[in-house]
Structure 1
Amino acid sequence: MLEDKIEAILKRKQISLTGSRVLVGVSGGPDSMALLYYLWERRKPFGMEVSAAHVDHMFRGKESLEDAFFVKSFCEDRGIPFTMERVNVPEIIRLTGKNSQVAAREARYRFFLQQLEKHRYSFLALAHHGDDQMETVLMRLTRGSTGRGRAGIPFIRPFADGMIIRPFLGASREDIIDYCRRKGIDFRIDPSNQKDTYSRNRFRKTILPFLKMENPLVHEHFQRFSEDLESDEAYLEELAESRMVTVIKSRERGKVVLDAMAFLGMPMPLQRRGIQLILNYLYAGKHTFLAAVHIDQVISLLNRPHPSGNLDFPGGLTVTRSYSECIFHFGRLGKMQFRFELDGPGKTVLPNGAIISIEPAEIAEKGAGQGCSYLPKSEVSFPLIIRMKKNGDRMTLKGMKGTRKLKDIFIDNKVPVSEREAWPVITDSAGRIVWLPGLKKSALDSAGNPEEGYLKLLYIKEPTSGGHM
């Protein structure tokens, strides 16, 4: 019986209604009327306060208004506090272009939120049941949802300062109709629930009957699948988030830079969920148009032998692969403009967080890496200029004749395109490139007359903290 299934799921979820204040979302249909009656009948044994809330979406004119009056009359006969709101959802759809079901749901939950905040209810009880769960899981799998998005309707979730609970998720629609018959509960039928224009109705009318014929308790298996998937995904998402902190090079509003090679070293289940975390962050969770195929596309882009490529995602998001970097960004990647003039020894902090320091040195130490260059005082003149690269830039290279394009140097060293724009180029007052910090030294390095001394240039590239998703 329905009562036993409700008590079983509440016990399993460790939810106590004793002493609570419960608002029930009531449409007038058999599901919500049964839920309202069930809670009202137990208000005294559990010391509950039970109220009802109804939203008229104004889809069916007088008929939908009569649904509201029907629920109001039911509540008045039993002394149940009742509140309602009429929302012109057709007009909202006309102005916003939103899907009718989405617009109606937003209007409904907005009203429920107002009521919970105003009256401090402990719970908002909704009448979604096991058949609804089956429909939701099947629709999401068919659409290609990924991660926790496949898990269906949660039994409980935070809402305002309270919680949404769905006590009927362990029961079938047949259980609810039987309960209404046994208790003599009248209800209204919304004819839109029979329209094949809604995908949910098509699943309800064609697929669910077949599954129930195969197994009358199939809704219980779907509920267990949903709960298991939700808990498994929560654990895997936690693992993915802890690993993503180590492979995210930078994160800002509308942009995430990923260390592609480090990311590919993660197990595939964490890779998929890591991409999902990035998309959730950038889209702020509002990406119902994304599916598993988008995550697969990113992973494919990162595994391609070609070092660069782009993906265009919905909503103006671009995924750019460049050597060891993968950048998720909205709009074009902007150039970082900078130019500094140094009239003598000192330190300069660059826009990318790196530091260039200049100090006098008596000798040029041998074996200094690419992060250090010794320029002869007799060969260079102040001011030294630190600037971004320009088209056509060329420089001499230590140990080589002639000059080389900076573009070719960047390519040879597999510097991501996004980093090239911010890479410092150092010239002397005559405009000669005397050092490409961290990459190449010019022919001037350690040259000249040692007795006249050197300028020691250091390049300290600060690591960027990725932070949490």
Structure 2
Amino acid sequence: MENVIINFFKENKLKLNNKSVVVATSTGVDSMVLLNLFLKLKKQYVLNVICAHVNHLKRTQSMEEEKYIVSFCEKNNIKYYIKRLNDIDDDENFQSEARNERYLFFDEIIKIENAEYLALAHHANDNMETIMMRILRGSNLLGYSGINPIIKRNNYLVIRPLLEILKETIVNYADKEEITYFEDETNYEDYYTRNKIRHEVIPPIFAIKDDANIKFKEFANNIKGAWKLVEEKVDEYVNNYVSINNDIEFSKKSFLANDVFLQIEILFAVLKKYNLSKEAIKEIISLINSNKANIKSFIGNSFTFYKEYNNIIIKEGLIEPTNIHLVIDCVNKHYYCDNISVFCQSIECKNVLKSNEICYNINMLPVTLRSRKPGDKIKLTAGEKKVKDLLIDEKIGISKREKILILEDKNQKILAVIGLKKSFYLKEIKDCNIVLKINTGE
């Protein structure tokens, strides 16, 4: 079995000599075999082998497992790190949150030890289960190829040297070498989708085809080959049509010019960090195709989706409108609220001002700068108009509409929609002797 590790490094052109390897060890048979294999190669390849154990504190034997791994490492002169997951709620997000915590833990160890590799003990049966799960749940094209044997993460590589080895082979090796390991009883509870596939789907497949794992590997390789072709098309679109800065932006027209299959792959690519399901991706495409000109939608707890006429915008986080309310009641003073600022300056006003500057009379103070409300109306030269209709006429997108500010007088008459229109009332004011300079932070 040691040759499995050696050949993995050779086939993938990875260096093994004088390297530091962090082995994620749960005390299950797979990870205990992997740890023992690296131990056997330690002297020959001058390896620095480090054990990383995460105690999820969810099973009665968790503490016993932790105690064993500490004893094993001390006996074999292996440096080890232990993390207990005390602060994660046992809810539907537990698996995802636990995974994030594990990788943060691994990142920390890699940095401390200056290690090149994080070794995980996934095997061929795990890969078959993953492919089946993704077929059932939906995925992007590359996801259907299953688990990657090598992934670059930050400044190190995540490696899975046992990925082509069957579980049965690993168990037989553990028994032959008398390797102590613990059984996780939850692996036998079929209310987890993966466990159902493991116990009810995979065995009949092997009964039909005893080298089914090889066929799954061929399937995965075919998918990876197809992905290389698709990836070129995805990259071409992203490089030419997608703006990725603080926000992600692209046009509806350019996006819908692609085949639906490619639309899915494009969204998976640009939204990769959010780890969305295929259903979520399809929902976003449905929003893009909608006949509504302006749409705002929260996608999970991750980001806010905007459709503004022909523009598609993705903003990090769940964006809620800010409620602005500033009373300006004296001159030569700055007023602040959130990222909004107003300077009321005493100055004779004769020239045409900028759209965010209002000429007014000191005796007519106070005025109020506030957020837009339903039913707001402004008096224009041609008559009274709803602010909502004004925004539609000017094709103001929904993200900007939420930031629109209204200036009203002490009688609650609207004096201006800042940056857009000034009221007819302002033209009737004589003896303008102050200027309101409004900075909206845009």
1:260 maps to amino acid: K
| Aligned equivalent of 1:276 | 268
Q: What is the alpha-carbon distance in structure 2 between the residues aligned to residue 257 and residue 394 of structure 1?
A: 34
Query: Does 2:15 correspond to 1:27?
Result: no
User: For 1:366-407, what per-residue CA distance to the aligned partner results, in whole angstroms no more than 9, with x for missing partners?
Assistant: xxxxxxxxxxxxxxx8425525998446567xxxxx999997
| Aligned equivalent of 2:66 | 68
Q: 1:314 aligns with which of 297, 300, 310?
A: 300
| Aligned equivalent of 1:83 | 80
Distance 1:158 1:418, change over 3 A: closer
Q: What is the alpha-carbon distance in structure 2 between the residues aligned to residue 119 and residue 303 of structure 1?
A: 50
User: For 1:61-111, what per-residue CA distance to the aligned partner results, in whole angstroms no more than 9, with x for missing partners?
Assistant: 4x333333444454455x341424251x3x4234x8564444544444344
Q: Which segments of 5 or more consecutive residues in structure 2 lack a partner in the other structure? A: 326-349, 358-371, 405-416, 428-442
Query: Does 2:378 correspond to 1:383?
Result: no
| Aligned equivalent of 1:258 | 250
Distance 1:92 1:140, change over 3 A: farther
Shift of 1:308: 4.3
| Aligned equivalent of 1:36 | 35
Q: What is the alpha-carbon distance in structure 1 between the residues aligned to residue 307 and residue 88 of structure 2?
A: 39
Query: Does 2:182 correspond to 1:185?
Result: no
Q: Which moved more, 1:263-272 or 1:129-138?
A: 263-272
1:262 maps to amino acid: S
CA RMSD of superposed structures (Å): 4.1
Instruction: Answer yes or no: is the 8 Å Cα contact 2:20–2:113 preserved in 1.
Output: no
Q: What is the alpha-carbon distance in structure 2 between the residues aligned to residue 403 and residue 107 of structure 1?
A: 58
Shift of 1:273: 3.0
Distance 1:278 1:43, change over 3 A: closer
1:142 maps to amino acid: L
Instruction: Answer yes or no: is the 8 Å Cα contact 1:146–1:292 preserved in 2.
Output: yes
Q: What are the residue-to-residue correspondences of 1:102-181 with 2, within 5 Å?
A: 102-159=96-153, 161-181=155-175
Shift of 1:212: 1.6
Distance 1:391 1:118, change over 3 A: same
- Identity level (%): 26
Q: Which moved more, 1:423-432 or 1:63-72?
A: 423-432
Report which of the two structures shows the higher radius of gyration computed on alpha carbons. 1
Give the TM-score taking structure 1 as reference length: 0.65
| Aligned equivalent of 2:319 | 331
Structure 2 counterpart SS, 1:178: helix
Shift of 1:147: 4.9
Instruction: Answer yes or no: is the 8 Å Cα contact 2:274–2:302 preserved in 1.
Output: no
2:204 maps to amino acid: F
Q: What is the alpha-carbon distance in structure 1 between the residues aligned to residue 313 and residue 81 of structure 2?
A: 48
1:292 maps to amino acid: K
Distance 1:133 1:328, change over 3 A: same
Q: What is the alpha-carbon distance in structure 1 between the residues aligned to residue 81 and residue 27 of structure 2?
A: 12
| Aligned equivalent of 1:350 | none
1:186 maps to amino acid: T
User: For 1:215-248, what per-residue CA distance to the aligned partner results, in whole angstroms no more than 9, with x for missing partners?
Assistant: 2222233345445545754764564355235434
Distance 1:387 1:136, change over 3 A: same
Structure 1 counterpart SS, 2:49: strand
Instruction: Answer yes or no: is the 8 Å Cα contact 1:140–1:149 preserved in 2.
Output: yes
Give the TM-score taking structure 2 as reference length: 0.68
Shift of 1:205: 1.0
Shift of 1:331: 2.4
Q: What is the alpha-carbon distance in structure 2 between the residues aligned to residue 317 and residue 58 of structure 1?
A: 32
Q: Which moved more, 1:219-228 or 1:119-128?
A: 219-228
Q: What is the alpha-carbon distance in structure 1 between the residues aligned to residue 209 and residue 265 of structure 2?
A: 33
How many residues are aligned here?
373
| Aligned equivalent of 1:297 | 283
Structure 2 counterpart SS, 1:43: helix
Distance 1:286 1:265, change over 3 A: closer
Q: 1:220 aligns with which of 211, 214, 219?
A: 214
Q: What is the alpha-carbon distance in structure 2 between the residues aligned to residue 193 and residue 212 of structure 1?
A: 19
Q: What is the alpha-carbon distance in structure 2 between the residues aligned to residue 305 and residue 111 of structure 1?
A: 46
| Aligned equivalent of 1:465 | none
Q: What is the alpha-carbon distance in structure 2 between the residues aligned to residue 317 and residue 70 of structure 1?
A: 43
2:202 maps to amino acid: L
Q: 2:87 aligns with which of 76, 89, 92?
A: 92
Distance 1:427 1:125, change over 3 A: closer
Q: What is the alpha-carbon distance in structure 1 between the residues aligned to residue 390 and residue 87 of structure 2?
A: 57
| Aligned equivalent of 2:197 | 203
Shift of 1:188: 2.5
Q: What is the alpha-carbon distance in structure 2 between the residues aligned to residue 74 and residue 250 of structure 1?
A: 48
